[in-house]
């Protein structure tokens, strides 16, 4: 290996690392606020990439029907709960409207817009608008009534959600893989390196998202409310911060970040209905590097994962997954030696 290959690999690793970083941030965020270890984070990535791919073909993506199914299930849940608590019909209707309005509206917009072949950027925004509501709906359906369960139960639920979403992904998107067109075809040569426009977009989008997350948590009341919930759920609740709405907001952000990652990664690799799992798990490894707690460490971990992967695939391409996933073991060893007391929540 010479320097030019090394620098190409490093660029490649850093590019993927930037995407893993986004997923790692989402994982840390979800765990901190809701204590859910959100295995299905990667599913949003696949849904994002596939939705855009189908829109590119001028067809209505399966995401629409998928979203309507979830919204319908959530509405039925609300209805049952409303009837059980003998709430007034008007209040139940209002609640149903609140659950259904946005998913139905965005679905109608998509059905209208799909055959019109709008520019790529418009379709990308539509994809984000379509995948993001998956987050709060999944939280509502799977986790909300279990908010006080142990981390272990929530983790097993996550695995169940992952199974369901993968299976439904196959149903709604089919087994075919897609590769999206690049957002920006320009190329820049810097020494031995060739930056593609897509690489730059990935870096810029990641940095922009990280900065806006930072601003959100530091400057906005909602962000501070989420941080408060992460530190002490009961305390936050006593201050009037509903842990349900904190959970929904967190999952909304997680789904948005996942969908965005899907848009970014779509042009660099072929995405299938189940590709999200491995991509998400790499973000996950980065989050574990950070002990599921520290955002800066998660960024660093994501970069390491990206580099491990790119150099790993150069040296032993068949074993790149083995290298990436077994790297978690020495990290855990180091964590357990430096801070063994993480007992009893």
Partner 1 sequence: MAALQRFGLPVFAAVMLALPALPLPDFWITQLNYIGLYAIVSLGLVLLTGVAGLTSFGQAAFVGVGAYTAAFLATKMGVSPWITLFVGVGLSVLVALVLGAITLRMSGHYLPLATIAWGLTIYYTMSNMEWLGKYDGILGVPPITLGGISLGSGRGIYVLIWLFALAGAVAVTHLLDSRPGRAIRALKTGTTMAEAMGISTLRYKIIAFVLAAVLASVSGWLFAHFQRTVNPSPFGLNKGIEYLFMAVLGGVGHVWGAFVGAGVVKLIEDQLQVLLPKLIGTSGNFEIIVFGLVLVAVLKYAPNGLWTFVTGWLPRRDRVRNWADAPRLPARDKPVRGTPLLEVDAVRKEFGGLVAVNDVSFNMNAGDIYGLIGPNGAGKSTTFNLITGVLSLTRGQVRFAGQRIDGLPSRAIARRGMSRTFQHVKMIPEMTVLENVALGGYLRSSSGAVRAMLRLDRAEEKQLFAEAEAQLQRIGMAEQMHELAGNLALGPQRLMEIARALCTDPSLLLLDEPAAGLRHKEKQALAAVLRQLKAEGLSILLVEHDMDFVMGLVDRIVVMEFGTRLIEGTPQEVQASPAVRAAYLGTEH
In the bound state with partner 1, the residue whose beta carbon lies nearer, of 32 and 260, is 32
Q: How far is the CB of 341 from partner 1 (least distance, A)?
A: 8
If one asks whether residue 315 binds partner 1 (CB under 8 A), the answer comes out as no
In the bound state with partner 1, the residue whose beta carbon lies nearer, of 152 and 238, is 152
CA-CA distances (angstroms) from residue 303 to 87, 129, 136, 174, 259?
51, 28, 29, 32, 20
If one asks whether residue 326 binds partner 1 (CB under 8 A), the answer comes out as yes
Site for partner 1 in 65-104 (CB under 8 A): none
Closest CA to 124 of 178, 61, 48: 48
Closest CA to 310 of 11, 2, 109, 48: 11
If one asks whether residue 163 binds partner 1 (CB under 8 A), the answer comes out as yes
Of 99, 142, 257, 279, which lies in the binding site for partner 1, with binding defined by CB under 8 A? 142
Q: How far is the CB of 47 from partner 1 (least distance, A)?
A: 15
If one asks whether residue 332 binds partner 1 (CB under 8 A), the answer comes out as yes
How many contiguous H segments (helices) and E segments (strands) does the chain have? 15, 2
Of 161, 226, 255, 286, which lies in the binding site for partner 1, with binding defined by CB under 8 A? 161
In the bound state with partner 1, the residue whose beta carbon lies nearer, of 106 and 279, is 279
Torsion of CA 40, 137, 255, 144, to 10 degrees: -70
If one asks whether residue 191 binds partner 1 (CB under 8 A), the answer comes out as no
Place of tokens 């939705």: 51
- The two three-digit tokens of residue 28, written as one number: 């840390």
Cβ neighbours, 10 Å, residue 323: 15
Closest CA to 198 of 127, 264, 261, 270: 264
In the bound state with partner 1, the residue whose beta carbon lies nearer, of 270 and 326, is 326
Helix (H) or strand (E) holding 195: strand 193-196
In the bound state with partner 1, the residue whose beta carbon lies nearer, of 151 and 239, is 151
Residue 175 to residue 52: CA distance in whole angstroms: 16
Q: For residues 301 and 291, is the Cβ–Cβ distance under 8 A?
A: no
Q: Say how many residues touch partner 1, by CB under 8 A.
A: 50
Binding site for partner 1 (CB under 8 A): 37, 39, 142, 145-146, 149-153, 155-157, 159-168, 170-171, 174-175, 281, 284-285, 288, 292, 318-319, 321-322, 325-326, 328-329, 332-333, 335-336, 339-340, 342-345
């Amino acid at each position: 290996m010479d320097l030019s290959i090394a620098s190409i690999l490093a660029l490649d690793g850093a590019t993927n690392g930037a995407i893993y970083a986004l997923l790692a941030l989402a994982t840390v965020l979800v765990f901190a606020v809701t204590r859910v270890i959100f295995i299905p984070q990667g599913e949003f990535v696949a849904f994002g990439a596939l939705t855009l791919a189908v829109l590119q073909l001028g067809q209505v993506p399966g995401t629409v029907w998928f979203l309507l199914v979830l919204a319908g299930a959530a509405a039925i849940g609300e209805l049952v709960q409303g009837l059980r608590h003998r709430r007034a019909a008007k209040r139940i209707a209002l609640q149903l409207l609140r659950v259904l309005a946005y998913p139905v509206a965005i679905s109608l917009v998509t059905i209208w817009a799909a055959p019109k072949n709008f520019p790529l950027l418009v379709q990308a925004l539509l994809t984000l608008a379509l995948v993001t509501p998956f987050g709060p709906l999944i939280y509502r359906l799977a986790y909300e009534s279990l908010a006080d369960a142990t981390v272990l139960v929530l983790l097993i639920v996550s695995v169940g959600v992952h199974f369901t979403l993968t299976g439904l992904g196959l149903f709604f998107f089919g087994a075919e893989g897609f590769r999206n067109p690049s957002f920006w075809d320009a190329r820049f040569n810097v020494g031995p390196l060739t930056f593609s426009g897509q690489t730059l977009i990935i870096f810029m989008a990641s940095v922009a998202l990280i900065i806006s997350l930072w601003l959100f948590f530091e400057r906005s009341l909602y962000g501070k409310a989420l941080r408060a919930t992460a530190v002490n759920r009961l305390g936050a609740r006593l201050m009037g911060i509903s842990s349900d709405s904190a959970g929904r907001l967190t999952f909304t952000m997680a789904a948005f970040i996942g969908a965005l990652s899907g848009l970014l990664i779509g042009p660099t690799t072929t995405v299938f209905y189940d590709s999200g799992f491995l991509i998400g798990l790499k973000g996950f490894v980065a989050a574990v590097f950070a002990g599921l707690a520290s955002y800066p460490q998660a960024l660093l971990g994501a970069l390491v994962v990206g580099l491990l992967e790119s150099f790993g695939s150069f040296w032993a391409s068949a074993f790149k997954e083995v290298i990436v996933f077994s790297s978690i073991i020495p990290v855990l060893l180091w964590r357990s030696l430096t801070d063994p007391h993480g007992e009893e929540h």
